[in-house]
């Protein structure tokens, strides 16, 4: 991968042992977490894939093409699926991320607190 790490195994070790699966729901053969993306054309991303919940897990690192799906959000705005091509389950825009939502809400509250503004949703 042109813009990826030189030594993927060492880089993965430095990330630590915890990765969150980016796929929705259960019942898929492998879990997947994007390690890095590449702006190549066609886009290729580096993914960590693993099976099993308990040790020892079977893991692999794979360079996979990006999912081509996108939905229009107005005339000039589109949301692109950030998963890999032919991924199981739904596209990324249909996946809820409770942890991400909590972090976003806490960051918003902290910003309002720091700037001494009432807590109101700017959306």
Domain assignment present for residue 104? The answer is: yes
Question: For residue 64, what pLDDT is reported?
Answer: 92
Which tops the pLDDT comparison, 56 or 70? 70
Domain assignment present for residue 121? The answer is: no
| Polymer length in residues for the chain | 123
Domain assignment present for residue 1? The answer is: no
Domain assignment present for residue 33? The answer is: yes
Domain assignment present for residue 120? The answer is: no
Q: How many domains does the chain contain in total?
A: 1
Q: Does position 32 have pLDDT exceeding 80, yes or no?
A: yes
pLDDT tens-digit readout, 112-123: 888 876 555 555
Distance CA 37, CA 44 (A): 7
Domain assignment present for residue 123? The answer is: no
Q: Does position 85 have pLDDT exceeding 90, yes or no?
A: yes
Which tops the pLDDT comparison, 41 or 22? 22
Q: Evaluate whether 12 touches 61 at the Cβ level (below 8 Å).
A: yes
- CB neighbours of 76 closer than 8 A, spacing ≥ 6? none
Domain assignment present for residue 25? The answer is: yes
Q: Does position 41 have pLDDT exceeding 70, yes or no?
A: no
The pair of structure tokens assigned to 28 is: 């898929």
Q: Which residue has the tokens 């976003």?
A: 104
- Look up the pTM and report it: 0.65
Q: Does position 25 have pLDDT exceeding 80, yes or no?
A: no
Structural domain for 24, as ranges: 8-114
Domain assignment present for residue 70? The answer is: yes
∠ CA(48), CA(49), CA(53), 5° rounding? Answer: 120
Q: Is 89 helix (H, G, I), strand (E, B) or coil?
A: coil
């Amino acid at each position: 991968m042109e813009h990826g790490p030189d030594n993927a195994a060492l880089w993965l070790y430095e990330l630590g042992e915890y990765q969150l699966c980016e796929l929705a729901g259960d019942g898929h053969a492998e879990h997947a977490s994007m390690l890095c993306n590449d702006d190549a054309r066609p886009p290729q991303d580096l993914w960590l894939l693993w099976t099993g919940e308990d040790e020892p897990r079977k893991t692999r690192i794979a360079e996979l093409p990006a999912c081509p799906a996108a939905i229009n959000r107005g005339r000039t705005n589109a949301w692109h699926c950030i998963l890999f091509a032919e991924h199981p389950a739904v596209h990324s825009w249909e996946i809820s991320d409770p942890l991400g939502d909590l972090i976003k809400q806490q960051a918003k509250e902290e910003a309002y607190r720091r700037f001494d503004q009432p807590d109101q949703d700017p959306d």
